[in-house]
Structure 1
Amino acid sequence: MQPYKKLFTYWFAVIIYDLTVDFTKSYIKSFKLKEQMDGAARSGKQNIVEGSEGMQTSLKSAIKLTGVAKASFEELIGDLEDYLRQNNLKQFPKNNPKIEIFRQKAAVLIKKLSDFYKNESLVRNLSNLSYLEKYFNTSSVEEKVNLLLTLCHQETFLLNKQVLSLEEKHKTEGGLTEKLYKARVQHRGY
């Protein structure tokens, strides 16, 4: 079993990555910018996977990789905000009814995915981007960018909490080196 598939942050990252690739394919003319935006979304997702897997041997690595994932999504936020500004589109305020609907729908979908990730049909629907667009009901490019921004903001919020939680765990339980040293001392009896 892949433990990262239980993380909300992983499923946010999957959705953000898929929607970013779809968005850049349709709306970004610059190949370099498209690659950067796709790369930031992919990097965020992959660093969550690596951080989760790395936690088995090094909590310190997990903290670093989760922080890198957060930074990748922050980079994507900057690119999306630039896109809105450069195309004279509005960034919806946090309290915009559409943003609140996006956040609620994302929370429901993410919870389902993390609880039932073995449900192949639900996971398969994720790669069907028209399913996500219908699910979130985005009709304009402005709404699509604001949806991505909303998801990225939720993701960075959760990743920040994840980093703080990992740091607390490291503080209370120690890292691998400390655990190995303690085991060696106990084995030697002094």
Structure 2
Amino acid sequence: MTENRDKHGGFRRLHSFTLATIIQLETLRFCRRFLTHDYRESGRLFYDPKGRQYDQMTQAARSGRQNIIEGSERSSTSKDTEMKLTDVARASLSELRGDYEIFILDRGELPWSMTSEEAIAINAISLDEALFIRDVVNESAKHAKLQRKKYAQWLDSNDPIVVANAMLIIIGRALNMLKRQVTAQIQAFEQTGG
């Protein structure tokens, strides 16, 4: 599936948008499950006394998804703005990836090697083509939830290190897709102008 659409507003069919939706939802869930501002829980959960980590992670995840939407919607009036917003989405998800990496390192663990069994399995997951006919918002949400199930064995783990590692890989996949989108947008811009 190509990650570039000529028609503005076609973001719901992009694999990058599907992954960004999963990333935002799972980041919210991760933070609720594994971060705490209650020092009495700090032995069991990641201690976030002021809630800054929660805010930073959830805002970066939100920014990734929302900038894909806004960039797609703005494509009909400004290809330059579309490229910039897609790149902001990429940068936001890169920031989020750094937060998950630090979470893992702070726990005395290492991120999974890309040659590990888990990383290979997650990277091998194929996303289904998004086919919407009538109720695009509803069907898009159903599609994202169905694609999320493919990652459930890692995302539903009670081990925060497993979840954080899975998120690192999923975010990496989204970043690769967004990089290809920006490259395609630049090429289209150079050929047709903005």
TM-score interval (norm. to shorter): 0.7 to 0.9
1:147/1:104 Cα in 2 relative to 1: closer, same or farther (>3 Å)? same
Instruction: Summarize the alignment of residues 1-190 of structure 1 with structure 2, pairs less than 5 Å apart.
Output: 2-29=9-36, 30=48, 31-105=51-125, 107-108=126-127, 111-112=128-129, 114-116=130-132, 118=136, 120=138, 123-124=141-142, 126=144, 132=148, 135-138=151-154, 139=157, 140-175=159-194
**Separation in 1, partners of 2:61, 2:141:** 18
1:24-79 C-alpha deviation (Å, 9 max, x unpaired): 11112221110110000000000000000100110000000000000000000111
Pairwise CA distance, 1:104: 2.2
Structure whose CA Rg is larger = 1
1:142/1:163 Cα in 2 relative to 1: closer, same or farther (>3 Å)? same
Pairwise CA distance, 1:95: 1.1
**Separation in 2, partners of 1:122, 1:164:** 25
**Separation in 2, partners of 1:72, 1:121:** 26
**Stretches of structure 2 lacking an aligned partner (at least 5 in a row):** 1-7, 37-47
1:88/1:151 Cα in 2 relative to 1: closer, same or farther (>3 Å)? same
Conserved 8 A contact 2:18-2:144: no
Q: Partner of 1:91: helix, strand, or coil?
A: coil
1:83-136 C-alpha deviation (Å, 9 max, x unpaired): 00101123101111111111222x33xx24x235859578348569xx946743
TM-score by length of 2: 0.79
**Separation in 2, partners of 1:135, 1:83:** 20
Conserved 8 A contact 1:51-1:61: yes
Count of paired positions: 169
**Separation in 2, partners of 1:54, 1:122:** 20
1:172/1:49 Cα in 2 relative to 1: closer, same or farther (>3 Å)? same
After superposing on structure 2, the runs of 4+ consecutive aligned residues of structure 1 that deviate more than 6 Å are none
Conserved 8 A contact 1:92-1:146: yes
1:55/1:125 Cα in 2 relative to 1: closer, same or farther (>3 Å)? closer
Pairwise CA distance, 1:165: 0.5
Higher helix share: 1
**Stretches of structure 1 lacking an aligned partner (at least 5 in a row):** 176-190
